[in-house]
Amino acid sequence: MKLKISLLMFTIFILLFSASTVFALTVDEIMDKMEETA
């Protein structure tokens, strides 16, 4: 049972990490476009 919980936490951590990476890249793209239009 303990193994399942740690596996679940590990999966959530990876999901959060990839989501934040994608978010950072998206923000970078938006900033670039804003600078171009400004």
pLDDT of residue 38: 72
pLDDT of residue 31: 94
Question: Measured in whole angstroms, how far is the alpha carbon of residue 38 from the centre of its chain?
Answer: 27
The per-residue pLDDT for range 1-38, each reduced to its tens digit, is: 789 999 999 999 999 999 999 999 999 999 999 998 87
pLDDT of residue 1: 76
Of the candidates 17, 37, 13, 35, the one whose C-alpha atom is nearest the C-alpha of residue 25 is 17
Give the DSSP letter string of 1-38. -HHHHHHHHHHHHHHHHHHHHHHHHHHHHHHHHHHHH-
